[in-house]
């Protein structure tokens, strides 16, 4: 029996993330009324970072047909570089150098993958994992395995304070405005430019992308460069929020970012996906984490819940391909 496009079932299937967000908000607000309070929502918006940046970059990698586990190392090393260079370069200079470092590290990933001829996911998985380990090791050498902190003299003012705790009109976090502007630009790049559309073609059928005149190797380097830049921006937002940096500060964000991308509807097989839908995935996963904290669930149970969500998301991803 054919399912009608305008039926409630069809709407739910096409908008599972939105339905999940609404259901989570309704149920949690009933069980814990403070969930929708201004204090909690403000706290959620502040604790959101750096996940949106990392997930945005990961979306392009997965749409292109690849995976990137090196974001852990890039976030960690870029946080260290940014913090290390604040005194000699100033806050703006340190931020720009951090972003440049992210671009270089991301491009290096793509260059190594194309040089080695990595094509299947297992090869990409292990190579990017290895690169992440290298980046974290460099960070450990920089810091002597210690946590770095912003000097007290810099805390009362400056761009880090503005990104970490600044607001517009006293309500909207400054970093959220910066990210939304970037999100719109990246969405337009993906949907309105030839290169952006070719990334989707590359993820769906590399041979077709090659025959259409698209340089697949350059495309691979591009998506990893984008991921590196986004990871660096995520690192900066994290440093701004916490005022600390370390060679292990990025641990865990790679799996959470992949989870957000898949939950948002981007297929792990590549070729199909949307940066906007990924952000709905970010919202759902962030709200889920906040919900579990408010319900005082143990760390063990929270890990189980996130694992279950990932398994269900992959199952739904496979169902979409049938």
DSSP per-residue letters across 170-192: TTEEHHHHHHHHHHHHHHHHHHH
pLDDT at residue 5, rounded to an integer: 57
DSSP assignment, residue 244? Answer: E
Name the band, by pLDDT with cuts 50, 70 and 90, for residue 245. Answer: very high
Nearest partner of 293 among 285, 81, 54, 19, judged by Cα: 285
Q: Give the count of beta carbons closer than 10 Å to the beta carbon of residue 8.
A: 8
Specify the pLDDT at position 1.
46
Confidence of residue 12 (pLDDT cuts 50, 70, 90): low
- b/e for 14-37, b at 16 or more Cβ within 10 A? eebbeebbeebeeebeeebeebee
Q: Is-contact 219 49, C-beta < 8 A?
A: no
Q: How far apart are CA 203 and CA 223, in angstroms?
A: 11
Measured distance CA(310)–CA(321) in Å, rounded: 17
- The model's pLDDT over 166-207, given as tens digits with 9 standing for 90+, comes to 878 777 888 999 999 999 999 999 999 999 999 999 999 999
pLDDT at 58 over 90: yes
66: tokens are 């690849």
Q: Which range (38-47, 90-99, 199-208, 219-228) has the least confidence?
A: 38-47
Residue 156 pLDDT grade (very low, low, confident, very high; cuts 50, 70, 90) = very low
**Cα–Cα distance between 250 and 134 in angstroms, integer?**
14
End-to-end CA distance of the chain: 16
Share in percent of the chain as helix, strand, coil (round to 5): 75, 0, 20
Gyration radius (Cα) of the chain, Å: 20
Percentage of the chain exceeding pLDDT 70: 92
Cis peptide before 269 (omega within 30 of 0): no
Q: How much is the pLDDT for 38?
A: 82
Average pLDDT, rounded, for the chain: 89
Residue 297 binned pLDDT confidence (cut-offs 50, 70, 90): confident
CB atoms within 10 A of CB 66: 26
Q: In the predicted model, what is the mean pLDDT of residues 256-282?
A: 92
pLDDT reading at 103 higher than 90: yes
Q: Say yes or no to pLDDT of 52 above 90.
A: yes
Query: Which residue did the predictor score with more confidence, 162 or 25?
Result: 25
| pLDDT, tens digit, 9 for 90 and up, residues 105-153 | 999 999 999 998 777 778 899 999 999 999 999 999 989 989 998 765 4
Q: pTM (2 decimals)?
A: 0.92
> Averaging pLDDT over each range in 159-168, 290-299, 312-321, which range is the top one?
290-299
């Amino acid at each position: 029996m054919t399912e009608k496009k305008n039926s409630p079932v069809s709407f739910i299937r096409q908008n599972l993330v939105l339905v999940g967000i609404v259901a989570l908000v309704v149920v949690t607000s009933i069980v814990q009324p403070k969930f929708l309070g201004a204090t909690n929502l403000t706290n959620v918006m502040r604790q959101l970072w750096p996940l949106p940046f990392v997930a945005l970059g990961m979306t392009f990698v997965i749409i292109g047909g690849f995976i990137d586990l090196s974001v852990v190392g890039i976030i960690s090393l870029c946080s260290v570089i940014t913090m290390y260079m604040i005194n000699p370069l100033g806050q703006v200079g340190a931020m720009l150098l951090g972003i440049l470092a992210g671009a270089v590290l991301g491009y290096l990933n793509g260059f190594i993958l194309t040089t080695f001829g990595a094509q299947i996911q297992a090869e990409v998985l292990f190579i990017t994992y290895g690169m992440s380990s290298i980046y974290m090791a460099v960070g450990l050498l920089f810091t002597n395995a210690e946590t770095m902190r912003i000097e007290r003299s810099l805390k009362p003012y400056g761009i880090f304070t503005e990104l970490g705790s600044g607001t517009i009109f006293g309500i909207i976090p400054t970093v959220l405005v910066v990210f939304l502007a970037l999100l719109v630009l990246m969405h337009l790049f993906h949907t309105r430019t030839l290169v952006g559309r070719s990334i989707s073609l590359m993820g769906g059928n590399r041979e077709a992308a090659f025959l259409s005149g698209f340089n697949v190797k350059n495309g691979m380097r591009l998506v990893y460069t984008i991921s590196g830049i986004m990871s660096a921006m995520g690192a900066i937002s994290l440093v701004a929020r916490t005022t600390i940096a370390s060679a292990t500060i990025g641990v865990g964000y790679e799996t959470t970012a992949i989870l957000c991308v898949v939950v948002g509807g981007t297929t792990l097989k590549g070729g199909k996906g949307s940066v906007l839908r990924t952000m709905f995935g970010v919202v759902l996963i962030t709200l889920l984490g906040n919900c579990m904290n408010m319900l005082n669930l143990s760390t063990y149970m929270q890990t189980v819940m996130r694992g279950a969500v990932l398994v269900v998301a992959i199952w739904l991803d496979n169902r979409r391909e049938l």
